[in-house]
Amino acid sequence: MDYVSTRGMAPVLSFEEAMLTGLARDGGLYVPAEVPVMSAGDIAALAGLSYEEAAFRVMRPFIGDNFTDEGFADIIARAYAGFGHAARAPLVQLQPNHFLLELFHGPTLAFKDFAMQLIGQLFETALTRRGERVTIVGATSGDTGSAAMEAFRGLDAVEVFILYPHGRVSEVQRRQMTTVTEANTHALALTGTFDDCQARLKDMFNDFAFRDGVRLAGVNSINWARVLAQVVYYFTAAVSLGAPHRPVSFTVPTGNFGDIFAGYIAKRMGLPIEKLVVATNQNDILHRALSTGDYVTQGVTPSISPSMDIQVSSNFERALFDAYDRDGNAVAQLMEELQSGGFHISQGALDRLRGSFASGRVSEDETSAMIARAHGAFGELLCPHSAIGVKVAQDHLGTTPMVTLATAHPAKFPDAVEAASGIRPSLPPRMADLFDRPERVTRVENDLEALEELIRGEVLA
């Protein structure tokens, strides 16, 4: 399977190379040259399989010959062994024709575990075979960093450094990073904001001497392997509800457009998805773009659903690439315009996007009200992100079954949930001692040279 860049100017790579590279050299994102299609018979045959078996069948055609069948099956088994639910991604019914897909049973209680756990095992297997070692540096506002530390801890081929803004992540999020004990993981609390963390990360990638010296690699949400891992649960959920014989719709709380883009890939693979509904909080660039055709950045306003507080939605570039008939030049041009604040989507491309995606936006008050209402009416305590999904989904209910993705466990955002519902959600028993575990963290200043020296010291020691 070949992978091409959305800007058309970077080398064509294999799955493994695209995964280890992350961002393409022309600034674009890697996508499969062709999306493999599953027949109705192949999809029907997923019924009754374990999550791992379904994952193997859905992802296998994308992997190429970098991994053997046995090797890939082992990787999947290891990736999901630490989940706290036998179904991995169980479905719960909320109301007539409306279902919740619980994606928060992984080790850090957010859906990012599905992709990060898989990518950890893929990196370890590929790098060990190549006799290589890499340094992963990530910037996080909370969920990505903890998922990455959990996924890479104890692996031989990887050293992990996660930058988070000191004092600006929730206590649960912080402890999920600082209580990881393995020596190859490092939580770095930076004096500054999330934007500062991201800016220093970008500086490190642009410092080629440093980048090559420590073999820097990235696992942020533009990594194609992360998107691929998320395609699987669209299949398992839809098949549980009658696909391929009956179509299904999905509503997805969205920030960087990674999770919902995985749903779009599932649809391209032949899964009968009627609607893919984008649900945003007050940082609604995607809802505005799909409504008006103008993709224009505004500042980020912090919300009670912080994992969706984005200014630019990086994976949207992949959807634009298809909407513009896979014309890399056209996409490169739009991204150039974005540097000065935004761009207008052509009518043809907009019509195509609207053929796949609907959208809705939810205010802070509506989010809190939804958390309270869902607890009263459905007996479900929702995290703020999932509540945004449920609210938007309710505006799109019809005769087709609707599945809303629950992206995090309510106990990950206890303050917002308690303020809305009066109930303080508790951590699952397997994590109940999180607040008693010792913390290990290094305080760092917002200073590129000092950061690089620290990382070099650890890696080359």
Ligand X SMILES: *Cc1c(COP(=O)(O)O)cnc(C)c1O
Which lies closer to ligand X via its Cβ, residue 255 or residue 270?
A: 255
- Exactly one of 120, 165, 255, 328 binds ligand X (CB under 6 A); that residue is 255
Q: Which range in 5-13, 93-101, 169-177, 255-263 contacts ligand X by CB under 6 A?
A: 255-263
Spatial contact of 103 and 91, defined as CB atoms under 8 Å apart = no
Q: What is the token pair recorded at 189? A: 């609390």
- Exactly one of 257, 316, 343, 357 binds ligand X (CB under 6 A); that residue is 257
Q: How far is the CB of 274 from ligand X (least distance, A)?
A: 20
Pairing relationship of beta strands 273-280 and 91-95 according to DSSP bridges:
unpaired
Q: How far is the CB of 323 from ligand X (least distance, A)?
A: 18
Q: What is the token pair recorded at 268? A: 């391209």
The whole-angstrom separation of Cα 253 and Cα 261 is 12
Residue 253 lies near ligand X (rule: CB under 6 A): yes
Binding mask 94-123 for ligand X (x = CB under 6 A): ----------------x-x-----------
Rg of the chain taking only CA atoms, in angstroms: 21
Please report, as residue ranges, which positions from 210 to 239 form the binding site for ligand X (by CB under 6 A). 221
Q: How many binding residues for ligand X (CB under 6 A)?
A: 16
Please report, as residue ranges, which positions from 379 to 408 form the binding site for ligand X (by CB under 6 A). 385, 407-408
Q: Tokens 């299904």 correspond to what residue?
A: 248
Q: Which range in 250-258, 292-300, 374-382, 424-432 contacts ligand X by CB under 6 A?
A: 250-258
Q: What are phi and psi of 43, to 5 degrees?
A: -70, -45
Q: How far is the CB of 100 from ligand X (least distance, A)?
A: 14
Binding mask 128-167 for ligand X (x = CB under 6 A): ---------------x------------------------
State the catalytic residues: 112
Q: Which range in 84-92, 249-257, 322-330, 441-449 contacts ligand X by CB under 6 A?
A: 249-257
Residue 307 lies near ligand X (rule: CB under 6 A): yes
- Exactly one of 251, 256, 281, 367 binds ligand X (CB under 6 A); that residue is 256
Which lies closer to ligand X via its Cβ, residue 255 or residue 360?
A: 255
Q: Which range in 209-217, 256-264, 295-303, 440-448 contacts ligand X by CB under 6 A?
A: 256-264
Which lies closer to ligand X via its Cβ, residue 72 or residue 235?
A: 235
Q: CA nearest 275: which of 286, 284, 266?
A: 266
Residue 197 lies near ligand X (rule: CB under 6 A): no
Q: How far is the CB of 143 from ligand X (least distance, A)?
A: 4
Q: How far is the CB of 206 from ligand X (least distance, A)?
A: 23
Q: How far is the CB of 421 from ligand X (least distance, A)?
A: 17
- Exactly one of 308, 323, 381, 411 binds ligand X (CB under 6 A); that residue is 308
The whole-angstrom separation of Cα 368 and Cα 12 is 46
Give the binding site for ligand X (CB under 6 A).
110, 112, 143, 221, 253-259, 307-308, 385, 407-408
